[in-house]
A and B are shown apart, each in its own frame.
Chain A
């Protein structure tokens, strides 16, 4: 049976073969950029592991597959970060408890940890205990977009499966299969940077596209502003951050995407711009290659700082002042 997943087929093939040949690692680390479909692949892998059908791959018809799909399978535990953005000790205790008990309704237990890079130190240590003394019928699947933030001691106990962005044409094809017209398929494919899950999410929800538009307007406005105005802008952004962290981070992600385009344009490859409709206005930003690169780096750095609880106002002030 084919796997229905937006992820990279090399990775799918690797997982599929490991089941067919009975060479199952007890822990896997699926790592690739956000939106590449790691969690969806982990779920699909869980199905394939538990599926009643004799032939590999999830059949999507047996009771096991259906219960995994509906999220009611007692042997599939999915742990994701709380609203505070981290996976704490409480979740890790659930994980330990699940890992130490025999499976409930299937032949094995599957524990999926999404955004495994957000494990707190205590939670990571609890996970490590489980990894150190694995039970033969427990499979752990860690998913992360931030491979470097995973402890070496954890990484070294996992089989690593890199999830790569998939070729532009394949994304566009998949988008067309999901009802997009030619124009938006090609536009969203480019915008997604090969991350099919993200591209598919754009089909139903254009927020990230709107966010790019807004970011472009903001960047153009900030370009001409004197220092005092930039500081005021930083203040407003800090307030937004305190009101809704995730939203401001999404906004900065859109800024990063614009700076990336500015870099591409400054580097003389305007055809590689994310969204060709934006070309004129990105050119309007008018920065040099070096300036665009440093702005992009600063944006990513600021996002990281904010995620790690830096003082938002200071971080954003310093960011806006650093912009060309």
Chain B
């Protein structure tokens, strides 16, 4: 294997695949990055057996080949080089990679690329095209509700179902549930239900900021892997085993009080109340009072801490239905309000029933609902 690349391209490529390099592992080769010539490009691949990322950069290839190189070492080394051409050549006998940049000459020991975990291929199954902004909006709004601890493994994933001309993403952690449905530009021929690790989607989301073309999503026949094909990048993820809870039945169908508020006001009022709620047990109490005689209604937020003191804030709200009160954990409110804009609707049916938060106006074909369990407090 012999090829030349530009230092900045190599550095960027390495930065792209690094999140998939295993940090602690039972299989040493997964701490390596695989370099593989692919006609006139260089392919870099890393995998921790859950997340795998491949990235292609332009290279001038003299002879084809592949090798696995210690990822952190190689990445540290490459980022220390100056912006110049880098020539790399592999001694296939010793698996030593010779790297020459300007007057720097380095040798690095690699491992046999054949021992590297095979790159998942997911071209034989389901195939869908999703615009990057649809994916990003879905991930942003849903991932906040995914569980972070592993006590129920399926809940650390995002349930993603592609059916007909829509994609639905859902996450829940036992206290809240977020579901976003978006229309796809093209119908898919075959529907699919997946549980994708939230960690993998978080990485995908970071890469989507630079993506303009639609992302091709593929799932292999055995439904064990999903791949997201971006420009010059393929991110693959193992899927989580198990059944995602049937969340549809958790979304309340009706409510007694409907409150429509400016998201910015609601968020600021929640953050202020959170200063006191944080010191207590995270409780923010909400009191919804409908307006009288053409006057707008109000929403009052209360929080108190025995040590510090208490706080009460009032914001304008359009309230339909009856007067109501309910208590939420401030963090859950902050999370959901943080991913919404303009106006949101909070619907409640009583202090012990879950509340739902939705955007007041929805874009064409997009539907988002966030269900939060209330906190049980003395009223």
What is A's interface to B at a CB cutoff of 8 Å? 70-72, 74, 77-79, 90, 93-94, 96-105, 107, 133, 135, 137-138
Contact = CB atoms under 8 A, between A and B. Distances in A.
Nearest to A94: B26
A102 B153 contact: no
A97 B50 contact: yes
A96 B154 CA distance: 12
Contact of A96 (B50, B150, B222, B242): B150
B240 interface: yes
Contact of B26 (A70, A79, A96, A104): A79
B27 interface: yes
B241 A135 contact: yes
Contact of A104 (B115, B117, B150): B117
Contacts of B49: 74, 98, 101, 104
Residue among A100, A103, A105, A107 with max Cβ neighbours from chain B (10 Å):
A100
B24 A103 contact: no
Contacts of A94: 24, 26
Nearest to B156: A100
Interface in B138-160: 150, 153-154
A137 B241 contact: yes
B75 interface: no
A117 to B, nearest CB: 20
A96 B153 contact: yes
B64 interface: no
9 contacts: A70-B115, A74-B27, A96-B150, A99-B241, A103-B224, A104-B238, A105-B117, A133-B242, A135-B242
Nearest to B50: A101
Residue among A93, A96, A97 with max Cβ neighbours from chain B (10 Å):
A97
Contact of A102 (B24, B118, B150, B223): B223
Q: How large is the interface on B (under 10, 10 to 19, 20 to 34, 35 or more residues)?
A: 20 to 34
Contacts of A103: 224
Contacts of A107: 222
B117 A101 contact: no
B26 A102 contact: no
B240 A77 contact: no
A102 B115 contact: no
A97 B197 CA distance: 11
Nearest to B48: A97
Contacts of A98: 49
| For the complex of A and B, 5 pairs with smallest distance between CB atoms | A102-B224, A100-B153, A74-B117, A101-B238, A135-B241
Contacts of A104: 49, 117, 120, 224-225, 238
B340 interface: no
B239 interface: yes
A101 B241 contact: yes
Nearest to B236: A104
Interface string B15-29: 000000000101101
B157 to A, nearest CB: 9
Given A99-B241, A100-B240, A104-B224, 13 more contacts: A94-B26, A97-B150, A100-B241, A100-B242, A101-B197, A102-B222, A102-B240, A102-B241, A104-B117, A104-B120, A104-B225, A107-B222, A135-B242
Contacts of A96: 150, 153
A116 to B, nearest CB: 16
B106 to A, nearest CB: 27
Contact of B24 (A70, A90, A100, A105): A90
B53 to A, nearest CB: 15
B160 to A, nearest CB: 14
A70 B154 CA distance: 32
B54 to A, nearest CB: 15
Nearest to A71: B27
B225 A78 contact: no
Residue among A98, A102, A105, A137 with max Cβ neighbours from chain B (10 Å):
A102
Contacts of B115: 70, 72
A74 B26 CA distance: 10
Interface in B222-268: 222-225, 238-242
A300 B239 CA distance: 47
A138 B117 contact: no
A101 B24 contact: no
Contacts of A102: 222-225, 238-241
A210 to B, nearest CB: 33
Contacts of A100: 150, 153-154, 240-242
A280 to B, nearest CB: 49
Interface in B99-137: 115, 117-118, 120
Contacts of B150: 93, 96-97, 100
Contacts of B222: 102, 107
A93 to B, nearest CB: 8
Contacts of B50: 97, 101
B26 A78 contact: yes
B241 A72 contact: no
Interface in B26-64: 26-27, 29, 49-50
A83 to B, nearest CB: 15
A72 B238 contact: no
A138 B117 CA distance: 19
A72 B27 contact: yes
A134 to B, nearest CB: 10
A323 B150 CA distance: 51
A28 B24 CA distance: 27
